[in-house]
Every structure is written in C-alpha cells, then in structure tokens.
Amino acid sequence: MRGERREYPKLDPAHVSVQRQSMKTEFDYIIVGGGAAGCVVGAELAARSDASVALIERGRKDVNPWVHIPATFFKALQSQDAEVVVSEPDPTLDDLPFPVPQGRVLGGGSSVNGMIYMRGQARDYDDWEQEHGCKGWSYKDVLPVFKRQEANTAFKNDFHGTEGRLVVATPTPQHPISAKLIDATVACGVAQSDDFNGAQQNGVGWYQVTAHQGQRQSAAQCFLKPELERENLTVLTDMSVERIQIEGRRATGIKARDRDGARVTLKATREIILSAGSFQSPKLLMLSGIGPADILTRFGIDVIHDAPEVGANFQDHVGTPVTRRLNGKLGLYGADKGLRALWHGAQFMMGKRGLLGSNLLQAGACVDTSGSGRADVQFNFAPFAPGPPGTPPLEYHAAQVHPMTMRPRSRGRLTLASSDPQDDLRFEARMLQDPSDLDTLRRGIRLAREIFDQADLHDVIGEEVWPGPSIDTRVGSNSLDDAIRKHARTIFHPAGTCRMGDSPSAVVDPELRVNGIDNLRIADCSVMPALVSGNTNAPTMMIAGRAADFVLGL
C-alpha cells in the first residue's frame, strides 16, 4: 500500500494567488521552470515556509489526457506539451542531427516520459563528491532525500521510503514478451534482480515505475497539486522568461512575456531558482550576461560574469535498439487503432485496468559488459518498436532490446545563436566523440543479439530488423560502427550544462548557488557533473529536494 502523504500545515492567507485576483509582481522566491524539479522546489518552499513563491512555466497546465494515462506517453510526446531541440549536423553520427525531445508542460519530463524510476548507482554520487568536488553529494547524503520523497508500494527497507509524495510501483499488467526477455537474459548469465534501486544495480528484471492504478505519477501530480490551494504559492503557465534581472551581482527579478506576448516583470526579494532544464537554464544564464565572454560579446550582450562552462559539458545517454519481428500478434502494434483501441479504452474506463494503465517500458537490465564489476549498459525491453529517429513506428509487430550507454564520456556544447530569446540555441551534440561510447554500444548490441537468440524466445521471435542480417557484429566489424552512427538516438536524458563543482570555474557550487552571482541558484539536471547510471527523473527530483533544503537553510 502507498504510504500516507506527508501533511504540512496550511498557512494563513498572507499572499494572493494569481488565479484568484490580479497578478502580483513581487515574490520572495521565483522559480523559473515548472518541470519535475520546479514542481518539487515550488511545492516544498511553499509548504515549508511562509514565503511567497512564484513558479513560472513556459508550457501550459497538464490538462492533456495523454499526459495522465500511462500508456499514451508517446502521444503526449507528439503533442504541444513537448518540443524537440535539434543539434547541428553531428560529425560523430555521419553528420545526422541529434534530436532531443523535451517536456514543455507543467511537470516537464515527468509528465511525458516513460515513467521508469531508477536512481543510478551509489558510486555515481560518490564520484560526484570524490572526483568532481561536489561535497555533500555522496550516496549517503542523497539517499535520505530519495527515501523521503518516495511512497514505494512494493519495498519498505533501508533503500526505500513509504511516506513520501512520489508513488513508485511495480508495473502492471506485466507483458508476456517482457517476461520472456527477462528469462532470456537470465539464460545469458545475467542475475535476476527485484530492485534496481536497492543494494546493487546489476541484474535483469521488472522496473519500478512512476505509474500506479492507471495514473501517471508526475511531479506536478504528486508534489505540486496537493499544495495549489496554498495562498503563498502562485503558478504561472504559458509565460516565457527571457532574462534574469541582475543589479550589480545580485539577481533581483525576471523579465518575461505572457501567452499574448505582453511584457511582464517580476521581482524576487530573496532568491531566483532556475529549474528550466539542461537547455533552457544555460540559455537564460547566457541571455542574462552569465556565460562565455566571447559568445556574449559576439551577440552584443553585456558580460556580467564570464563563465566559460555555461553550456559546456552536455551529455546524454545514447541508445541503439536491436529490433526483431514478432511472430503472431503478441506485440503492441495497432493497439491504439480500431477495435483493439476500443477494447483497451473500455478496460481502462472500467476501473483503469488493462494496457492503458501500463507504462509499456516495464522491464530491463543493467549489465557489466566491460568486466569492470560495474554495470555500464542499460537495456530497455519493449514489446513494440519505434522506427529510426525521425521516422514513424514500424508497421508490424516487433520487439526491441535497447542497449544504451550508462556513463557516456562524449561531451557536447550549447551556445547562443543570437541575443533574441525566441531563437533556438546552437547545439553541438558530439554524441559519439569519445571512442569508448561507440565501444560500449558495440558490446550492448552483441549482448542484445544474444538475448534474442535464446531458446526461450524461439517460438515468438522472427527475423532481425536492425542491425539486420547483413551487419556483422563481431569485434573489428566496420559495418557495425556505420550502422550505430546512423541509428543512435537520445534516451531523453540531457544533463550537465551548468555543472556543479567546488572550483570557481564550475557554474554552481555544491549548494547550487551560481558562482559570481548572488541570490541565484540552479536546481535541475543541468547541474549534474556527470550523468547517473540510469534514468534521470528520480535524480532530478532529488536535486530539487536538496535545493529546497539549501534555500531554507536546512
């Protein structure tokens, strides 16, 4: 059972919400970005203090029904609640662009993602502290925050919480193809795991997910909505922040435009917290005069603080899904069309049962393919098959075993293309610049093929679609490298562009304060000095929880 929601005392009406009366223009705290991190920070600051809090989101409220039904996340990603940031042609991907979808809706990525709850490895956070100078971010420091946020329906132990806001559950109904892929992976010598967020990550099994009883458990749903009636919390959607106002070296407010294009200026008496994500947070810093001096000067932006690392250190998990046809109709092709769609809809309407209550990406594996003793490839199992980047889904029943890099070494960069806030960033992805990332994907593809070849799957698996029978995956095969470069894709985990560290060159310090500027913090996945070994939704909310602690002096 889900643990009871932590209750905070309601506050006396000291501030008036914009939804009730005319819009206020001054707040104690302004949070820019209503994604997963922003929802957590906004909810916690409002609930744990008497301060006035404004949460500003570029997108709309999460009114889209596709956002809330777990199985329709792919429709949410194709709606106005998501946007795609596209890189320059990437020479490491045969000059193909690298598109990265992002949530643009209240809840951000947590409202449009695949709902896999994975924190990463303990050593990831120990490395943040020991190798990247992020004092106070070791695993022993961050685990209590994960636990306090979590309402786990399956586990109650030293690694999990049951009293938090975020419902974390075992996926249901469990798809038979995913179950067969788990068995086939065990047959390849990978140990079975019942908890990727427990004592150790390695293994294969069912994921934990942020979907429960037919409802997506987004940050907006779990953290923000219970606090919306607080009179010290104002949520402003459809508002685009264009610049941070800085007086001397102190952040004092923001300049924005509302949905009609009218200019809006809001003042912050205490702090501004950027939670706009790995693309928008560095963009706002640069537009506001905080960034590489040569870039800012080129576009006529006054340099307030020369910060060369703003926009640098871009990283993302990269995947190449090995795809096989399915015999018969065991997959999910056509499940959203015709009579099948009506049947699934009827099941969902009658008690939120059936396929629509599933996050679809229910199972996977974290495997040490290099012999280092530490998992370096994550495999997502899918009883369906999206097509190559930029193409429609495959028009037949298929399954994928999707290997992806867990700790990529390649680094890209974001810079401005102009001083106009409406213009896109210039995005240099360089996704396979480091040869080790290509080698990691080679190993992952070889194991994925081995999984598909196990006897457990012979009765349901047909011919290989990708890489295809003509591609030799043996060591030394150049044809495999060419195929990887053409097929590599984002795993929707951009990070690192406002990295945290203990040196003045880092964008933020270990309490997430922007170096060189007072009263300005960043709380989102852009502060990660290195990607965690797994999905980024849970770590992003953890970062936001710690940011609230820092702001409140706890």
Q: What is the pLDDT of residues 414-458, one digit of tens each?
A: 999 999 999 999 999 999 999 999 999 999 999 999 999 999 899
What's the Cα-to-Cα distance from 364 to each of 400, 432, 536, 554, rounded to whole Å? Answer: 11, 23, 16, 37
Cβ proximity of 363 and 119 under 8 Å: no
Cβ atoms of 419 and 315 within 8 Å: the answer is no
| pLDDT for the residue numbered 22 | 59
User: Does 172-206+318-405+433-487 carry CATH code 3.40.50.1820?
Assistant: no
Would you say residue 519 has pLDDT above 90? yes
Kindly tell me if the per-residue pLDDT of 19 is higher than 60: no
**pLDDT in the model for residue 233:** 98
Q: Are 106 and 59 a contacting pair, CB within 8 Å?
A: yes
Q: What is d(CA 377, CA 494) in angstroms, rounded to the nearest whole number?
A: 17
pLDDT at residue number 390: 66
State the Cα–Cα distance between residues 356 and 346, nearest whole angstrom: 10
What is the radius of gyration, based on Cα positions, of the chain?
A: 23
* 292/545 Cα distance (integer angstroms): 29
Q: Per-residue pLDDT averaged across 468-497, rounded? A: 90
Question: How many angstroms separate the Cα of 404 from the Cα of each of 224, 381, 431, 438, 502?
Answer: 32, 12, 12, 10, 30
Give the pLDDT confidence of 91-146 residue by residue, as tens digits: 999 999 999 999 999 999 999 999 999 999 999 999 999 999 999 999 999 999 99
Mean of all residue pLDDT scores within the chain = 93
Name the residue with higher pLDDT: 478 or 243: 243
Three-state DSSP at 32 gives strand
| Catalytic residue chosen out of the listed positions 132, 160, 175, 493 | 493
Give the per-residue pLDDT at 394.
87
**Beta carbons within 8 Å of 441's beta carbon, 6+ residues apart:** 318, 319, 320, 403, 404, 405, 432, 484, 488
* 319-332: pLDDT as tens digits: 999 999 999 888 88
Q: What six digits make up the tokens of 549?
A: 């602690």
Task: Name every residue whose Cβ is closer than 8 Å to that of residue 521 and which is 6 or more positions away in sequence.
Answer: 271, 272, 273, 274, 508, 511, 512, 513, 514, 547, 550, 551
Report the topology of domain 25-133+216-317+413-423+494-554.
FAD/NAD(P)-binding domain (3.50.50)
In this structure, the strands spanning 116-117 and 208-209 are antiparallel
Burial 514-546 (b: 16+ CB within 10 A, else e): bbebebbbbbbbbbbbbbbbbbbbbbbbbbbbb
Indicate if the pLDDT at residue 58 is higher than 70.
yes
DSSP label at 165? S
How many Cβ atoms sit within 10 Å of the Cβ of residue 486? 15
Residue 208, CA atoms < 13 Å, CB-side half-sphere? 26
Let me know if 397 is a catalytic residue: no
Given a contact cutoff of 8 angstroms between Cβ atoms, the answer to whether 369 and 444 are in contact is yes
pLDDT at position 2, please?
35
137: alpha, beta or left? (left if phi > 0; alpha if psi -120 to 50)? alpha
Check: CB of residue 202 under 8 Å from CB of residue 209: no
CA nearest neighbour of 124 among 40, 201, 37: 201
Report d(CA 483, CA 93) in Å as an integer: 10
DSSP 8-class letter at 222: I
Place 393 in a pLDDT band, splitting at 50, 70 and 90.
confident
| Sequence letter at residue 124 | D
Q: Are 531 and 314 in contact (CB under 8 A)?
A: no
- pTM summary value: 0.94
Parse the chain into domains and list their residue ranges: 25-133+216-317+413-423+494-554, 172-206+318-405+433-487
pLDDT at 340: 85
Q: What is the mean pLDDT of residues 390-418?
A: 93
Output the pLDDT for position 514: 98
Q: Quick: pLDDT tens for 253-310.
A: 999 999 999 999 999 999 999 999 999 999 999 999 999 999 999 999 999 999 999 9
Band of pLDDT at residue 3, cut at 50, 70 and 90: very low
Spatial contact of 73 and 114, defined as CB atoms under 8 Å apart: yes
Higher pLDDT, 14 or 57: 57
Amino acid symbol at 321: P
Which residues fall within 8 angstroms of residue 51, CB to CB, at 6 or more apart? 28, 29, 45, 232, 270
Residue 490 has pLDDT above 60, yes or no: yes
- At which residue do the structure tokens 């786990």 appear? 152
Fold equal for 25-133+216-317+413-423+494-554 and 172-206+318-405+433-487: no
User: Is the model's pLDDT at 197 over the cut of 70?
Assistant: yes
Main-chain phi, psi angles of 451, to 5 degrees: -60, -45
Beta strands 398-405; 116-117: pairing state: unpaired
d(CA 112, CA 98): 19
DSSP assigned state of 508: B
